[in-house]
Amino acid sequence: MRYKELPGTEIEVSKICLGSMTWGQQNTQDEGFAQMDMALDMGVNFIDTAEMYSVPGRPETQGSTETIIGNWFAERNNRDKVILATKIAGPSPTFKHIRPNLGFSADALEDALHKSLTRLQTDYIDLYQLHWPERAVNIFGVRDYNHKPNARWEDNIGEILDRLEVHVKSGKIRHIAVSNETPFGLMRYMEEHRKGKLKIVSTQNAYSLLQRRDEIGLSEVLQMEDIGYLAYSPLAFGVLSGKYLNGAMPAGARVTLFPNYNRYNGEGSLAATQAYKDIAEKHGLSLTQMALAFVNDRPFMTSNIIGATSLEQLKENIESIEIQLSEEVIREINEVHSRMPNPAA
């Protein structure tokens, strides 16, 4: 395993982070325990979750993933071996079952943090992330930003940081971060930091061979402002394993079970996936490991959040850290990207 400092902290996180959102629906608690055991044995020290998990979000399973992780901590007595990240949900008409006070008000933060700590059976969160912004942005399958001048959002970034600082000072949160953020959002947080407020240490965004748009503007912000980057969906809901090519819908696979998870299954994405698969086969690589190795080694990457529903998948995903792509492979990947840039929204 390789490790990298979470910027502005003394925390070393594994370059592979274990994602957890299938535990509680696609995976049982025992399977979640087995995945965490294997990941820890293979050098992974970083686990990411969220109050809304497992997915898809449903009232009867909300919080189930944090509960599974908390039960694992209690049974294994190993909280000190893990860098734990979780997220508080932003406003959404879809997820009102999570809490009646969705968003980042003082009451919402107090409520969400208390419930996450209880489910996780811990006294502190290493990295507490705002799952998505309170303002309207182009995320979750929306490619273009559609500005709405009359949208109900007043800039409250400074106030949010003040509210989070209360919990940092109490010891319940070590460091703060965001997720699904834009260059504008990151720079607003940095503007407040320059006024003396807490600094966000990372953002967690979708990034893969099919979704490289953060290279265009966000990557400069990350590197110039020393902000970490955590990539989620590096296999694009499993599409970059190649298992959905030629119309295949494998039994038990995420897109098969949940057809609305289709943002990476468009014609353009599948054509690009086939082109990347051809490169991998030409060079004796599995498409999965090539796709993950590409993400692992981006210059702005702090940690790559992988997920799996079986131990076989998990082992292959973690072992991608051992693969160094050649200059020829990178060149061929970028040639496909030039022809079919960001085919997924």
Q: Domain containing 315 — which CATH number?
A: 3.20.20.100
193 lies in some domain: yes
| Other Cβ atoms within 10 Å of 103 Cβ, number | 18
Q: What are phi and psi of 229, to 5 degrees?
A: -130, 125
Q: Does some domain include residue 330?
A: no
Q: 318 is written with which tokens?
A: 């973690």
**Residues annotated as catalytic (active site), given as ranges:** 53
Predicted local distance difference test score (pLDDT) of residue 249 = 75
Q: Domain span at residue 319? A: 3-239+254-261+298-323
**Which amino acid appears at position 251 of this protein?**
A
275 domain residue, yes or no: no
In a domain, 165, yes or no: yes
pLDDT score of 314: 98
pLDDT at 231: 98
CA distance 50 to 85: 8
Which of helix, strand or coil describes residue 292?
helix
> CB burial class (10 A; 0-12, 13-18, 19+) of residue 213?
middle
* Partners of 16 in beta bridges: 304
Segments in the chain below pLDDT 70: 345
Question: pLDDT value at position 345?
Answer: 67
Q: Domain count for the chain, please give it.
A: 1
**114 part of a folded domain:** yes
Q: What is the pLDDT of residue 136?
A: 83
279 within some domain? no
* Residue 138 domain flag: yes
Per-residue pLDDT, 49? 98
pTM: 0.95
Report helix, strand or coil for 278.
helix
Q: How far is CA 237 from the centre of its chain?
A: 12
Residue 106, in any domain of the structure = yes
The pLDDT tens digits of the residues spanning 193-249 come to 999 999 999 999 999 999 999 999 999 999 999 999 999 999 999 999 999 998 877
**Token pair listed for 98:** 């999570």
Angle between helices 29-41 and 311-318 (to 10 degrees): 30
pLDDT value, residue 146 = 79
pLDDT at 195: 98
The four Cα atoms 32, 234, 17, 44 give a dihedral, to 10 degrees, of 80
How many whole angstroms separate alpha carbon 109 and alpha carbon 235? 31
